[in-house]
Structure 1
């Protein structure tokens, strides 16, 4: 029981950091944060993603490129140019590392207006940080695992951030239904996207990239949008008009 709780907590906290901070804030600026909360959620993203921490700057640049070149040869991670999801992840990894380390420069239109904290990026991306988080995951499993099959979940903790991105980009551009013609292959994989916190409403999102609510039809539900409304109501964030 403890292992399943730990796994689900890591899954959804890491996923929330990705959809809330990296995607909706860093990439699209669907809402604003003051300096205190921007740094607080920066730290939250590090601790929730842990061993698979993703640098907001690199994530934002790649995501903006994904929207500009959706499902074309210039798309950093369209599933329609790779034989399988592993090749797509490997290609994405190489480009991400280039932007994160500064060895690859993006076009001017994709740069700027994203949170950047170089000290935290350096520490969180270091082998030391990743190894310490990894050892923490292993220790938890050693102490609380009650069956061998639970250890099958352990490797997922090490790749949680990239895995979430791979699921969204692969499934969200291959499987499901379309509400809008976006001149790409984006899909809504499911009308009730609890497992990926609304990220699989890709067709809706590509039609309205700055809308904080990824659900657009009456039967669709984006579970993060009500959270954004509450955070707006308590003045932690300020939603902008789409």
Structure 2
């Protein structure tokens, strides 16, 4: 595998590491075979493989060689679960978009961030910062609050960044944030009142799987002028209903 002229060294290493994983997945298990398949010296293949073993993406057995590791297998299951979630959720996201006319998001929690895995733009000509694949701090988003509120309280601090200021309204105090999550859990939906993006408000509700675990959240987002307190009371039950329907699809 030759390098591309001008390509950053880190990018070359990443590309080779991914190619090595693919070759192991295709059935190449020896160091000699991996070096030959990648077109690199045996020492380079060994360095890449060792780093992947240490990270849990590969495992090595002296007589059997290299095999896919537990972390990679877990990621594969997570990718499959997310794909299933997307397929099952999409009709209900469309229902929610059509009922509200606003932008609808589907998100999952990764560490202290929300990852947007689907987005359906509404009828208004709004330019929101979100896009599929984008990440935002969980503490400043309605999606994030809906996901965090149903975790044990003792882990909330792990997902909190003290002093975070996405906007002047972002909650940067841990105790205030704890109280916000308690309120979110009690009423069944979360709010983002211009805390992640100036001029944008959101309402979100949690989605549960067949074991009752919160695995995702759905939200409606629009300009603050279109989501005052009265409209929140209209939109929140629709968001909750969409979350309930998706949860039912997942076996909840």
| TM-score scaled by length of structure 2 | 0.26
**If you compute each CA radius of gyration, which structure gives the higher value, 1 or 2?**
2
- Which structure shows the higher strand fraction? 2
What TM-score results when the alignment is normalised by the length of structure 1? Answer: 0.26
Identify the structure with the greater helix proportion.
1
